[in-house]
Amino acid sequence: MKSGEIEQLIHLMSKLPALGPRSARRAVLHLLSKKETFFIPLIQSMQSVLDHVRSCPECGNMDTCSPCSICSDPNRDKGQICVVRDVTDLWALERAGVFRGVYHVLGGLLSALDGIGPDELNIQRLVDKISQHPATEVILALPATVEGQATVHYLTEKLESFPIHISTLSRGVPIGGELDYLDDGTLQTAFNARRDI
């Protein structure tokens, strides 16, 4: 007994990550109960993002300016390129504020199971970029998963002909991590990569 419009919106909302049919229904009713203060601003904000946000042709970041504000920032070191899987990971590193170079977004990871090969990823653009503007260091900040490691190996081979330093993030016990709760793989890695204090 819901109208077609509401059904349609619930159906679309339920396709958002983290929302299911029940939470989509609650979200739509929440929007309808706060039309002026929430629903209208949300639609306007979505329309503005749709109209203005583009993928940066340099690095793949999402921004309103092109190239993005990171690529066009003169204070950032173009010689250091941090390779990330997606924009979420780029934002996570920016929130941590640990890096003052530029990024390169792959748009995914190599995965034989999902049929994602090198041609599906933004890899050739990275190689071209390094050929044209030699970098000093490439940091492969990819997930510590099977797909992440496969991508690290592929990129390392692809880039070994260039005179650059290639690094990955360290593996080990996360800060605040209790040993008892860690998986065997992490414990073994942390043990083997132990450091002198």
Q: Which is nearer to a second copy, 39 or 154 (CB)?
A: 39
Q: Which is nearer to a second copy, 76 or 125 (CB)?
A: 76
Judge contact between 37 and 46, C-beta under 8 A.
no
Of 110, 159, 120, 119, nearest to 138 by C-alpha is: 159
* Strand ranges inside 11-94, DSSP E: 54-55, 62-63, 77-84
* Interaction of residue 13 with a second copy, rule CB under 8 A: yes
Question: Which bin fits 21, alpha (ψ -120 to 50), beta or left (φ > 0)?
Answer: alpha
Of 61 and 151, nearer to a second copy (C-beta) is 61
H or E stretch including 129?
Answer: helix 124-132
Hey, is 55 helix, strand or coil?
strand
Among 41, 57, 134, 185, binds a second copy (CB under 8 A): 41
**Residue of 78, 79, 86, 154 interacting with a second copy (CB under 8 A):** 86
Number of residues that bind a second copy (CB under 8 A): 53
Q: Which of 57, 66, 69, 145 binds a second copy (CB under 8 A)?
A: 69
**In this structure, how many other beta carbons lie within 10 angstroms of the beta carbon of residue 86?**
15
- Angle, vertex CA 124, rays to CA 121 and CA 126, nearest 5: 95
Choose which of 63, 138, 142, 151 interacts with a second copy (CB under 8 A). Answer: 63
The DSSP secondary-structure symbol of 120 reads: G
Binders of a second copy in range 143-182 (CB under 8 A): none
Q: Does 133 bind a second copy (CB under 8 A)?
A: no
Interface with a second copy, residue 8, by CB under 8 A: yes
- SS3 for 159-170 is HCCCCCEEEECC
Give the interface segment with a second copy, choosing from 68-76, 149-157, 170-178, 187-195 (CB under 8 A).
Answer: 68-76
Residues that bind a second copy (CB under 8 A): 1-6, 8-9, 12-13, 15-19, 23, 25-32, 35, 38-43, 45-50, 52-53, 55, 61-65, 68-70, 86-88, 91, 94
